[in-house]
Structure 1
Amino acid sequence: MDSSRAHPPDPSDPIVLTGIGCVLPGTPDVQTFWSHVSTGTSQVSRLEKPAFAAAGLPVHAAAQLGGFDTAARLPDLFPAHAAKYSRDILATMAAVRDALADAGIERGGIERGGIERGGIAPERLSIVQSSSRGPLSWWTETITADPESNPYGGKATAMFRGLAGCPATLSAIDVGAKGLVTTISSACVGGHHAIGLALRELRSGSADVVLAGGHEFPVVPEVARCYLALGDGVLSPESDDPATAVRPYDRDRRGFALGEGAMTLCLERESHARARGARIYARILGHRALNEAHHATSMDLVGDVTASVVAGVLDDAGRKPEEIGYVCGHGTATRYNDIAESRALRRLLPRHDDADLPPHGSNKPIYGHTFGMAGIINVAATSLMLHHQRLAPTANHRTPDPECDYDHVAEGPRDAEFDLAVSLSFAFGSQTSVMALEHA
């Protein structure tokens, strides 16, 4: 029994982000991630999947990961094992490994050395992952399998490929994590929820390090059909330049593009990080999640609900709305999302003129909509902005929607001195989620 669980940590000890691992389109590492986000360099490209054309679907752009080089990203994984795993699993394993490495923690646990060498007791290392729909490619293959040649609807490897939780559990085996290992599914707020669960594990003393992440591979015709069925303005239509397909807060918005990949964040208590000399990207001050319990696909368009959740999480942290230096929006480039966020900021800061509202941006033009991973990308991007003291631009924002006509950092990257930021996330099912972050 781990007796240290009986002694909860100091509740005033902040939770910090010390490592980021990513397997995203055109993005093999955190340095490239920051380069793309901070310069507004879109990874959305022309869709190259024949299945979409064969299905006659009017979807032409997506942020696509392409092939996964297992030998390069997971060089010590036995080929026989790799052959059993899906791209979801392999990408998540690489993101988890890289988050640990970026945090300066040795894979394999305390056996490799004490805390000063970055060793973590396996029982004190947890993994929480998020995915909105799980192994979509496997389900597609299984449903379309020929029952005569393949009567069981899948290969012998289906036990791994078909479980939504296998990316987390196999990653845990790979890095030696023996704490809580789980996968949650809460649509587009799932990434935030994964971080929120990580905060609880760390604040209760149940873990010393939690790897919170997301994995999403929705670039399949079945998912596109779901969003096309909602009508125009949800999935972006054909464009001469796919990189400009996603235009948040813009009068000429056309909807979002699908995005895929995996990303994991390494979280720990600040005292633990300082003791081992870790670099800290940002403090995670707190998280609040709310289900409006009102409408299945819409959200509060007045702005009061979101404003109250933001005010609440800031109050928890002893901060005030007037101190916010940046808001990382959900920013899907759909009308309801864009105007709801804008109205919420005005409700949060009713005495401010539009010119005085905090800068408010979106990274959806860079990596598309990644659903269960979106909150992870948002928090990573926001943390890096705090760390580098530079605001990332909202790419493709040219002509503001009159409802959203204030500062979206449209001109390009901007140096700034700020110590408080907010990350927003929304989802079908009437869900709202807010994270507050602080410069470390």
Structure 2
Amino acid sequence: MARHDVAVTGLGLVSPAGIGVEASWARVCAGEPTAAYDPALAGGPVDFCCRVPGFAATALLGPRRARRLDPFVQFAVVAAQEAVADAGLDPGRWDGTRVGVVLGCADGGPTTVEQQHQLMLAEGTGQVSPLLLPMQLPNMSAGQVAIELAATGPNLVVATACASGGTAIGLARDLLLLDRCDIVLAGGSEAMITPLVMAGFAQMGALSRRSAEPAAASRPFDAQRSGFVAGEGAGVLVLERVADARARSARVRARITGFGATADSHHVTAPDPQGQGFERAIRAALSDADVDPGEIDHVNAHGTATPLNDLVEAQVLHRVLADSALVTSTKGVTGHLFGAAGAVEAAFTVLAIEDGLVPPTANLDDPDPQIAIQVAAKPTPRRIDLALSTSLGFGGQNAALVVAAP
């Protein structure tokens, strides 16, 4: 067991695949896509996405809290509550000064911003809610989780675009190794599916336009991929030092053993065509974990289903790992959760290790012949001792996590 290890003792998920870890993992393993027509996007350039199904904020959080929280904060609070319960921890009994929260978020609360902007245009500035800023600021996901769970240690929101969730987990690990905290709730949350945000992505040419069959639109590593499908949700992991988890007889679900983060310094949206920054992030994570590339059994790839991203990522994975690892992209089911993606996918990586099962890459019907890596097209039983979870973001930001069996 490396001295850099931290234990994952709890998981919480709110995703398009379901509310809760069990529901989300079951649909991901079934390879059942979640993309569907969304009436809130009717008339826009793209009218489908991957929503969290049946999220009843009032029932889950109570009417007052539900009204005062933007969806990205609602998702974070619900996921954090599940993760803490899963870890067997009681916020009423812990030393909150030693409990930190580090969450990733790319945007904050655009739902609230757009609603309040429309209200201002229609009825004047006097009708704008005084809760506008407390609801939409990106730091409010971590701030509200801390309020809900009496966590008074370091409280941070990390913004590295679509790498935010992975970056947050890596930084949370650092807080534990530096003895700044004894427990950290780490992950990410996002709710960016609004008409304005979707129009912006569409204008960039980033979204799939496969409106006639939305369930088939998110197709990572497939020759017919045409762009990503937007998703929403949250993933939270409870992290502790391994010795502390063992001392309280906690279930160690997996270990985070390595982290790498880099910048391409190349382009505001496109990855470096040679993938040099991404490769350095992977190699840094492997070095941090003190493992050889050939020891990696499985990769939960960023795999957005955009033509350039998937090709560059696959080339780097092949260059670093050769054929040792079986790769999947769970975005074929969930769509792209932006700042929450790395956290949700890290949780799926933990579950893959636990169950000895690589989930399928949904819609991989015609694998791109330019992609040389092994990509799982169906659920594949496999012993997984070491896995990699990778994330890339606008601005050329990269994050890689090495996840190990307990």
Aligned 8 A contact 2:16 2:232 in 1: yes
Secondary structure of the residue aligned to 2:325 is: coil
Cα–Cα, structure 1 residues 218 and 82, in superposed 2: closer, same or farther, change >3 Å? closer
Which residue does the alignment assign to 1:86? 70
Secondary structure at the residue paired with 2:68?
Answer: coil
Residue in 2 aligned with 1:367?
334
Q: Measure the CA separation in 2 of the matches of 1:280 and 1:365.
A: 29
Do structure 1's residue 248 and structure 2's residue 248 form an aligned pair?
no
> Residue 191 of structure 1 aligns with which residue?
165
Q: In the aligned structure 2, how far is the partner of 1:23 from the partner of 1:223?
A: 21
Shift of residue 193 of structure 1?
1.2
Q: Secondary structure at the match of 2:84?
A: helix
Choose the corresponding residue for 2:153, options 154, 176, 179: 179
Correspondences of 1:28-427 after superposition (within 5 Å): 28-49=19-40, 52-53=41-42, 56-65=43-52, 68-74=55-61, 77=62, 79-108=63-92, 110=93, 120-147=94-121, 149-152=123-126, 154-231=128-205, 234-349=206-321, 352=322, 356-410=323-377, 412-427=378-393
> How far apart, in 2, do the equivalents of 1:83 and 1:156 lie?
13
Structure 1's 346 and 65: CA in aligned 2 closer, same or farther, altered over 3 A?
Answer: closer
What is the letter of the counterpart of residue 52 of structure 2? L
Q: Distance in 2 between matches of 1:361 and 1:134?
A: 28
* Superposed CA offset, 1:60-119 (max 9, x none): 321112553235323xx5x434432222222221111111001111132x2xxxxxxxxx
Map Cα deviations across residues 257-285 of structure 1 (whole Å, 9 max, x no partner).
11012221111111111122222221101
Report the Cα offset of residue 315 of structure 1.
1.8
Matched position secondary structure for 2:39? coil
One-letter amino acid of the counterpart of residue 287, structure 1? F
Q: Report the secondary structure of 2:224's partner residue.
A: coil
Shift of 1:304: 4.0
Contact preservation (8 Å) 1:303, 1:345: no
Distance 2:45 2:341 in 1: 24
* Letter matched to residue 63 of structure 1: C
Per the alignment, do residues 394 and 179 of structure 1 end up closer, same or farther by CA in structure 2, a change over 3 Å counting?
Answer: same
* Preserved contact between residue 58 and residue 66 of structure 2 (Cα < 8 Å): no
Contact 1:68 1:87 in 2 (8 A): no
Whether contact under 8 Å (1:189, 1:372) holds in the other structure is yes
SS in 1 for 2:318: helix
Could you tell me how far 1:159 is from its partner in structure 2?
4.1
Using a 3 Å threshold, how does the CA distance of structure 1 residues 180 and 257 change in structure 2: closer, same or farther? same
Give 1:394 deviation, angstroms: 0.7
Partner-residue secondary structure (3-state), 1:132: coil
Alignment CA distance shift 1:43-1:107 (3 Å): farther
1:115 paired residue number: none
Does the aligned pair in 2 maintain the 1:357–1:406 contact within 8 Å? no
Q: Describe the SS at the equivalent of 2:9.
A: strand
* Range with bigger deviation, 318-327 or 289-298: 289-298
Cα-Cα RMSD:
2.0
The residue identity in structure 2 corresponding to 1:361 is T
Query: Following the alignment from structure 2 to structure 1, what is the Cα–Cα distance between the partners of residues 122 and 346?
Result: 47
Query: 2-side partners of 1:16 and 1:204: how far apart?
Result: 15
Moved more, 308-317 or 27-36: 308-317
Count, aligned residues: 406
SS in structure 2 at match of 1:278: coil
SS at match of 1:423: strand
Unaligned stretches of 5+ in structure 2?
A: none
Q: Percent identity?
A: 34
Residues 317 and 143 of structure 1, relative CA distance in 2, 3 Å threshold? same
Looking at structure 2, the residues matched to 45 and 276 of structure 1 have their Cα atoms a distance apart, in angstroms, of: 44
Secondary structure in 1 aligned to 2:401?
strand
Rounded to whole Å, the distance in 2 between the matches of 1:82 and 1:288 is 36
Using the size of structure 1 for normalisation, the TM-score is: 0.87
Q: Cα 1:81–1:308, aligned 2, differ >3 Å: closer, same or farther?
A: closer
